[in-house]
Amino acid sequence: MGDALIGLGVLLMIIGPLLLIPVTWLLYRCVWWALIRSVPAERLTRGIASQAAVALPLVLVVSALVASYLPGHWEFERLCAQHAIPDASFRTRVDGFFRTQMFPYQSHKYLDQDSFSYIEAPDPYRKGLLLRYSKGANGNLEEDQVPVISSTFGFRETFSELPSGITTTEKVIDEIATERERARAARITYHGGPLSLVLGSYGISSCPDILSEEGSRHFTTFCDLESIVLRSEMDP
């Protein structure tokens, strides 16, 4: 069922704009019928009726799309100007860090790919308990309960959805003892506003923009912020 819903969502992203065709045609028929019924025949030629019946639906559809898309897009541009460029100038090298939320499977990336020795995080299933994830001698994931956080740095990742159709994912690294922020990166996506269904993939915008060279670098920094900041050889 989940795969079917995902497939339907992808299909609508592709063919969404085609939904405008029946909507425009229905408006055309309504305008045509209204003109024929309300305007005296001696004042209405077939050519004028056809032009009006075509023009009015197009104006209505385009106006509705613009009114739906632009307000959210302006807010998206404002947020991008503030958050699209990551702040990852701080560099250090540590064996592990504390993550404010994490499921056990998420630790594999840090321990296997990024070569951290351990990751600390709250137990996702038992409130109030703290776990330390590490690799055992046989390469299996080990989970040990610890009394307090021993990591110097903490990492949090937050996801939020705004009413305007904008979603933001923000990553922050700070020093636990002082709460001093050391690095930050964000990913912002605009889905096209209230009528995003009929805009499909054409209404989606995101920043950093991976299609540009600079945006691609910023996106890579966002994805790998933890390893870039906390697995460097030295602090500049």
198 and 146, same structural domain? Answer: yes
Q: What is the pLDDT of residues 53-77, one digit of tens each?
A: 667 777 777 888 889 899 999 999 9
User: Is residue 86 in a domain?
Assistant: no
Which of 68, 87, 109 lies at the terminal end of a domain, its last residue? 68
What letter represents residue 20's amino acid? Answer: L
What residues of the chain score a pLDDT lower than 70? 1-17, 19-20, 27-29, 31-54, 232-236
Q: So what's the pLDDT on residue 13?
A: 55
222 and 126, same structural domain? Answer: yes
What is the Cα–Cα distance from 144 to 121, expressed in whole angstroms?
11
Expressed as residue numbers, the domain containing 207 is 96-230
Q: So what's the pLDDT on residue 220?
A: 94
User: Is residue 209 in a domain?
Assistant: yes
223 and 107, same structural domain? Answer: yes
Q: So what's the pLDDT on residue 9?
A: 46
37 and 121, same structural domain? Answer: no
Q: So what's the pLDDT on residue 53?
A: 63
Which of 53, 68, 83 lies at the terminal end of a domain, its last residue? 68
User: Is residue 9 in a domain?
Assistant: yes
127 and 184, same structural domain? Answer: yes
208 and 128, same structural domain? Answer: yes
Q: So what's the pLDDT on residue 7?
A: 46
Which of 51, 68, 85 lies at the terminal end of a domain, its last residue? 68
- Domains of the chain: total: 2
User: Is residue 73 in a domain?
Assistant: no
105 and 47, same structural domain? Answer: no
121 and 188, same structural domain? Answer: yes
User: Is residue 82 in a domain?
Assistant: no
220 and 160, same structural domain? Answer: yes
Q: So what's the pLDDT on residue 188?
A: 96
26: DSSP letter:
H
Secondary structure E strands in the chain: 96-99, 118-122, 130-135, 141-146, 153-161, 166-175, 181-190, 205-207
